[in-house]
Amino acid sequence: MEDISSKVLKSTIENIVAKHNQSDQLAHQLNLWLDSLINGSEDIDSKEDVWDRLETILNEIELNNGN
Amino acid sequence: MEIKLKGWSSEGFRCPDANIDLSHNNGAYDLSFIQMPNGTGKTTTLLLLKACLSGNISNWSADDIYQLKKKNHPINDGKFTINLLVNNEVLSIELVVDFREKEVSFWTISPQGGGRQRGWIIPNQLARFLNDEFIKLFIFDGELADKLLNNDYDEASKAIDALFQLYLLDEIKDRLSEYWDEKTKDVPRKSQQAITQQKNKLSDLKELKTQLESKYKTAKDRILKNENRIEEIKEEVNRRITEVEEFRKDYNDALSSLGNIKGKITNKSQLAFQSLRNPAYIHENITNSLVNSKNNLDSLKLPANTSKQFFEELADEEICICGRPIGDDERKEIINKSEYYLSNDIAGYLNAFKSEVSSLQSESFDQDALENELDSLSELLDERDKLEGKMRHIQNKLKDRGDEKLKELEKEQVKLEQENDSLEELIKKFESDTETNPLKTKNISIIKDEIKRIDEEIKIISGKVDLKNKIDLLQDILSQVKLISKEELKVKILEKFRERVVNTLEHNPLLVESIDGAIKLENQQSGASVGQTLSIAYCFLTTLLQWGTHSFPLVVDSPAGPLDLAVRRQVAKIIPKLTDQFVAFTISSERQGFVDDIKARSDKSIRSLTVLRKSDYSNKLVEELKPNVVHNSTDGYVIDDEEFFNQIDIEEEQ
């Protein structure tokens, strides 16, 4: 991830996730995945990897946190 | 990411075979001008450059592929190679075409990647920039310049997405939708409202079940109570009858015989029922058919002594039972032949069947056993009826003598028996009502099953509703992240972009108001001029292409073609300042005011090549040149001579 865009994306994700009353862990998982996608270590077209990531991230979401 | 275009070579395509070398001092020339008269294959060259970079030819039809073939040449193959320097490492991508088969293949050549390998094998870090959206930013198309400043398009916004890969956020949203589809493909789509409806239905059914179970229990209890009372009545009747001397003996004898007969009826019924389970007892024809079947199996020698499993196990062995080795061919044949044999379980079933049928042929088998049992049962039932008739007769005699109590007891018994009949009917309904509508049926099992089904459905759907809510929430988060981070990045880009505009268009800087879908200039109500548009487009694209540690070449076809002289000079001024590598395909008329001006103003390294298709005219032109500046191919010349470049005046291929 580029320095500036990395910082912008990271802080935006943290802010938006917090606004939705979700955990830091969710923001962390999202940032980790985006980092891997942007630096090319993971592929958005690899269904198996994507499914694993989505399941991990969806598990971090708590419903009824004011949503 | 730093990419330099070191050159390309082409063989077998519509453009003249040529090797364009832009290498310079372990890198590439800063400014390269490839002068090609119209019709020399600029469009084909650009198309092949883009295809090599993206590895994507999915929109090429077989006809498109064939159209790339060199005309009037007995050639079957084409090869186009692009040579790059990626972060100072050499990388080449080859596009190979079989024109007969109309097939295209890619090859990647990289010392780090193990030499020449089949396929478009690009490191992920580079591959993320080699998609169609990003390539069009640096293999520049004049149309893009117009679109970047046209509010009807959102090309400026897309360019930012492409650089920062913000499109990944949209792609994650798409994958979430696919994930949802996958997870719910077998589940009916239900809304929260539908779940509420199901829950209401469940509540109604549970209420109904409770009511029916209560009625069922009441009926059962009532029957039991009635039966007890009937027994009491019978005992009371018996007692009253046996109090009368003249009826006592006959009545007691009949009562005792009746008990005995009832016991026999029970035993005989059980025996008859057991016999009924053997079809051979039902009719002689069935017995004969079974025996015939067994005889047929015997004559067919079925089941065989060897089973399918024997051969399957044998096929796993290395040595056959005959001592010879079992090879692949033998193994295959044994497996094939095993299909002719029955499996163990079918053979076992047939043997059991034959054994059972054999017993039908033995002397101990009595074909008439069932009929005899039914006859005996019928006799016992007749006897029971006679005894009951005799007892009723005695009872009636007593009633005729005016035993009111007996009359009352009998009346009560009849009433209780009738009530029990009705209750039995009701219980039968609770147990086996054939109405299948769960809200109308009295069958408690059907209602229980429906409750279980709805319960399960609600459980599944509720789980899916949670999943859907989570997916919606995550998609919402991703949309907001994209929107907000893009706005922030736009501000940063706008700052650099404005700086670049001011630095490059020193004397006539345009003011950029904003970047929305398109670039918006201040005070430009009626649209920018051609020169302004092009200058701004170059500034914008190179702001992106030189962002951070990035450095991409800018490749442009006819950069000055549509510009008048004044505008050309304006654009020529900015080009050297904008990018680390500028590669332009030009025609001779673009020299004046553009190529000449750039060369005159720049202290950067410059390459000037002229590409001509072979013809009588071009043959004459090159005759006068030193041989070492002319690179000769099957159908073209690449002339590496500055003077020739500056003097030649061919707009169209001669």
Confidence grade of residue B547 (pLDDT, cut at 50, 70, 90): confident
Contact yes or no for B173/A34 (Cβ under 8 A)? no
Q: Are B85 and B581 in contact (CB under 8 A)?
A: no
Note whether residue B570 is domain-resident: yes
Summarize pLDDT for B464-523 with one digit per residue, the tens.
Answer: 778 888 999 999 999 999 999 999 999 999 998 988 888 777 666 678 888 888 888 887
Minimal-distance CA residue of chain A relative to B549: A2
Interface touch A38/B168, C-beta < 8 Å: yes
CB contact under 8 A, A2 and B466: no
- Residues of chain B in contact with residue A37, where contact means CB-CB under 8 angstroms, are 165, 168
Q: What phi-psi label fits residue B321: left (phi over 0), alpha (psi between -120 and 50 degrees) or beta? A: alpha
Contact check, Cβ <8 Å, A12/B488: yes
Q: How far apart are alpha carbons A11 and A24 in whole angstroms? A: 11
CA B522 to chain centre: 49
pLDDT tens column, A17-39: 999 999 999 999 999 999 888 87
CATH number of the domain encompassing residue B21: 3.40.50.300
Percent of chain B with pLDDT over 90: 45
- Residue B466 with chain A: CB contacts under 8 Å: 63
Instruction: Confirm whether B625 is domain-assigned.
Output: yes
Q: Which among B164, B168, B176 has the least Cβ separation from residue A54?
A: B176
Residues of A in contact with B489 (CB under 8 A): 4-5, 8
B interface test, pick of A8, A26, A50 with most B CB neighbours within 10 Å: A8
- Chain A residues with CB-CB distance to B175 below 8 A: 44, 50, 54
Write out the DSSP string of B570-625. HHHHHHHHH-S-EEEEE-GGGIIIIIHHHHHH--S-EEEEEEEE--HHHHHHHHTS
The number of distinct structural domains making up chain B is 1
Lowest-pLDDT range, A42-56, B181-195, B240-254, B325-339?
Answer: B181-195
Asked whether residue B524 carries a pLDDT value surpassing 80, the answer given is: no
Q: What is the pLDDT of residues B572-612, one digit of tens each?
A: 888 888 888 999 999 988 898 889 999 888 889 999 999 99
Measured between beta carbons, which residues in chain B are less than 8 angstroms from residue A22? 473, 477
pLDDT of B504:
75
The C-alpha atoms of residue B512 and residue B505 are separated, in whole angstroms, by 12
Among chain B residues, CA nearest to A67: B473
pLDDT at B342 over 80: no
Please choose, from the candidates B131, B82, B140, B72, the residue with its C-alpha nearest in 3D space to the C-alpha of residue B108: B82
Once rounded to an integer, what is the mean pLDDT over residues B427-445? 92
* DSSP 3-state of B626: coil
Q: What is chain B's mean pLDDT, rounded?
A: 88
For the stretch B228-260, pLDDT in tens is: 999 999 999 999 999 999 999 999 999 999 999
Taking each helix axis from N to C terminus, what angle separates B404-432 and B444-504, rounded to the nearest 10 degrees? 20
State the count of interchain CB pairs (< 8 A) between A and B: 78
Within a domain: B210 = no
Tell me how long chain B is: 654
**Cβ of residue B474 closer than 8 Å to a chain A Cβ:** yes
Instruction: Copy the structure tokens of residue B169.
Output: 């956020």
Torsion-angle region of residue B143: left (phi > 0), alpha (psi -120 to 50) or beta? Answer: alpha
| B20 alpha-carbon distance from chain centroid | 46
Torsion of Cα atoms, B588 then B591 then B595 then B597, to 10°: 170
Q: Does B194 touch chain A (CB under 8 A)?
A: no
For B25, what's the count of Cα atoms within 13 Å in the CB-facing half-sphere? 6
Per-residue pLDDT tens digits for B24-53: 998 999 999 999 998 899 989 999 999 999
Say whether B488 and A8 touch across the interface (CB within 8 A): yes
E strand or H helix that includes residue B110: strand B103-110
Q: pLDDT tens across B373-408, in order?
A: 999 999 999 999 999 999 999 999 988 988 899 999
Q: Residue B303: is the preceding peptide bond cis (ω within 30°)?
A: yes
pLDDT band for position A2 (50/70/90)?
A: very low
- Contacting residues of B for A16, CB less than 8 Å apart: 477, 480-481, 484
3 state DSSP class of B274: helix
Contact between B14 and B562 (Cβ < 8 Å) = no
> If you measure CA to CA, which chain A residue comes closest to B471?
A58
Q: Is the pLDDT of residue B653 over 70?
A: no
Residue range(s) defining the domain that contains residue B552: 3-142+542-647
Tell me how far apart the alpha carbons of residues B106 and B52 are, in angstroms, rounded to a whole number: 8
Tell me how far apart the alpha carbons of residues B223 and B306 are, in angstroms, rounded to a whole number. 61
Phi, psi (degrees; rounded to nearest 5) at B282:
-70, -45
* pLDDT value at residue B252: 92
Q: What is the pTM of this model?
A: 0.59
3-state secondary structure of B15: coil
Three-class SS state of B152: coil
Of B109-118, B415-424, B551-560, the range with the highest mean pLDDT is B415-424
In a domain? residue B289: no
> Is there a domain that residue B8 lies in?
yes
- Is B592 contained in some domain? yes
Closest-CA distance, A38 to chain B, in angstroms, reads 7
ipTM over 0.85: yes
Residue whose C-alpha is closest to residue B169's, from A12, A67, A23: A12
pLDDT digits (tens, 9 = 90+) for B353-380: 988 898 888 888 888 889 999 999 999 9
Question: Per-residue pLDDT for B526 more than 60?
Answer: no
B77-86, B359-368, B522-531: which range is least confident on average?
A: B522-531
Q: What would the pLDDT profile of B174-205 be if each residue is shown by its tens digit?
A: 999 899 888 877 655 556 677 778 888 988 99
Distance CA B21, CA B8 (A): 7
Question: What percent of chain B shows pLDDT beyond 70?
Answer: 97
> Is the pLDDT confidence value at B4 over 90?
yes
